[in-house]
Chains A and B, each alone.
Chain A
């Protein structure tokens, strides 16, 4: 698997607060569980890299970004609802890895065309 196919997540938190810790905990659990291999997670402290936050258009803290595959998706909040987080990130296909999901979609698309 080459890099673009991997899921790149970036989590912005604001300093070492209980909420930050809780959020990091939640996102780690997501990555380890459902997406174990296909996921790169980066955790950014807003205070440390405010310039990066501006580039990514982060307003709320904490915010989780799915940088790839595009388009960028973002989730604000401490990610308490894991199911909703996965749905937003487009990763809710019951543990299916995203490249497969994309292939499936493509196949469906072409197949539909054939039928028509």
Chain B
């Protein structure tokens, strides 16, 4: 993408008058050339008058430059009424002398021409209006109408040239609007006279979707963004959205965003996702993507962080109601101003417009967390879709905002044919999968990737109940991975087996005990026997000794008797 780079500080910088139109001043590095006329052209209904009015109103309210609106088409009352919808109080500004409106009615049927004339009347009126409020800005909308009111084109062209010269002489910053003509920018070739800055507005319809675009065709003496930039007109006014280039030079954050889902935080090594990362939650419909997002949003808001959710399939209120069923109260965050839902059908705008709208809303709301639910709802040509998503991710990363995208595509792809790798743009990817078995479906969750941190590679069963989301370890065993009732059955089975095993164990322990005790008893008996035998032995030994002693003494007595008798 060829985007404007910051302008090197060239000394003789062209003085510029800021328009106050978001984005436009960035594209032109400061606004329109000050003290010169600029041409804003485009076909009917593309926002020329609004652009010009915004330029004037902002000049009067923000930059202290009063302005004159010279309308050749709409009456002053109509103009006031038309821009009131944008919150511009023209009547108030007129009363304060900040803005003057002069309606120049030019009707050929009412004007007869005889002889020589010029447009001095117009000059004098313009001069009078400018002097009456000290205007620095003027708008001529649409001066080409003069060509339908007067027949003498030569006079008109000469007068126009004189008018633009006069504007420059007076140092007025002017916007001249012009209707798009065939083969040239304006019907009457106004670009011939106004050559300093030409802005082209366009309202294009592709695939029945309208996208407003703006291009700075030329800007003499100044660099400018050359692309076509989408711009928005809505209740917030007009904003041009130069989508920044897809540089990969954003700062990275070490901070961690806990998800608020206990089991999920535990699966991630850092205890949550890195702040500023892009997170993809993919899964078919009914897998609980939105509720996962709701839980994460609830946790973030409860910490006082700001969340902005772009939802394409449900309204914010509906999501809040549905989230109540899992015990998550999002409505209180909405009331507290921490959470905002931006709901729009994907077909409401083109991709550029969605992106542009997002950028504007993000810059205004300054969220910490952005949810896009679901990203896969965006439709468009594949190439454009990929560029859009890339820029969207870049837009968020560049601002350090954590982004949560959901996708219906299970493979993390995008678009009809799925050639667009969405997953590779994301830093973390959670996949929700419904497992169908034994006549029931159960929700499972994987963390497919989480850049920069270790994470569980196991499947978790993921439960939604009135008290929130919780993750349950799925049964992983010889019978495969089981979830739901099958997991419960398997777990019960295992518990029963376990019980049986423990009972068996105890029984065998008891038996061993018994046998040990019986052996002990036997040892006891034997020992008693041994003792008895020893006793016996001792008695016998004693008797022997006594008998021998007796024998000995008997013999001695006998010997004495025999010897003595002799």
User: A: which residues have CB within 8 A of B?
Assistant: 12, 14, 19, 46-47, 50-51, 53-54, 57-63, 72-81, 84-85, 88
Residue from B116, B121, B125 with most neighbouring chain A CB atoms (10 Å): B121
Shortest Cβ gap from B168 to chain A (Å): 21
- Residue from the list A60, A75, A78 in contact with B150, Cβ < 8 A: A60
Contact: A62 with B114, CB < 8 Å?
no
CA distance A51 to B127 in the complex (A): 11
Measured between C-beta atoms, what is the minimum distance from B140 to chain A in Å?
12
Closest Cβ neighbor of A83 among chain B residues = B114
Q: Does B117 contact A78, Cβ atoms closer than 8 Å?
A: yes
Contact A50-B112, Cβ < 8 Å, known A59-B146, A61-B119 = no
Count of inter-chain pairs, beta carbons less than 8 A: 90
- What residue in chain B is nearest A15 (Cβ atoms)? B120
Residue contact B124 to A74, C-beta cutoff 8 Å: no
* Contact between A53 and B114, CB atoms less than 8 A apart: no
Interface on B for A, CB 8 Å cutoff?
102, 104-106, 110-122, 124-125, 127-129, 146, 149-150
Residues in A with CB closer than 8 Å to B124 are: 14, 46-47, 50, 53, 61
| CB-based contact B111/A74 at 8 Å | yes
User: Are the C-beta atoms of B117 and A80 separated by less than 8 Å?
Assistant: no
Contact partner of A78 (CB less than 8 A), chosen from B104, B115, B122, B149, is B115
Nearest A residue (CB) for B110: A74
Given known A-B contacts A46-B121, A51-B128, A75 and B105 have beta carbons under 8 A apart:
no
Residues of chain A within 8 A (CB-CB) of B119 are: 59-61
- A55 to B119 alpha-carbon distance, docked (Å): 16
Contact of B121 with A77 in the complex, beta carbons under 8 Å? no
B117 touches A58 (CB 8 A): no
User: Which residues of chain A are within 8 angstroms of B117 by Cβ–Cβ distance?
Assistant: 60-63, 76-78
Once the chains bind, are A75 and B121 in contact (CB under 8 Å)? no
**Is A81 a contact partner of B106 (Cβ separation < 8 A)?**
no
Contact B114 A80 (CB under 8 A): yes
Residues of A within 8 A of B146 (CB): 59
Q: Do A77 and B113 touch (CB < 8 A)?
A: yes
Given contacts A50-B127, A54-B102, A54-B129, A59 and B113 within 8 Å (CB-CB): no
Least Cβ distance of B141 to chain A in Å?
15
Cα distance A61–B117 when bound, in Å?
A: 6
Chain B proximity of A43: nearest CB distance (Å): 14
Instruction: Report yes or no: A14 in contact with B110, Cβ–Cβ below 8 A.
Output: no
Of the candidates B102, B104, B113, B125, which one forms a contact with A76 in the assembled complex, judged by CB atoms under 8 Å apart?
B113
The answer to whether B128 and A50 have CB atoms under 8 Å apart is: yes
Does A58 contact B121, Cβ atoms closer than 8 Å? yes
Q: Is the CB of B113 within 8 A of A54?
A: no
Is A61 a contact of B118 with CB atoms below 8 Å?
yes
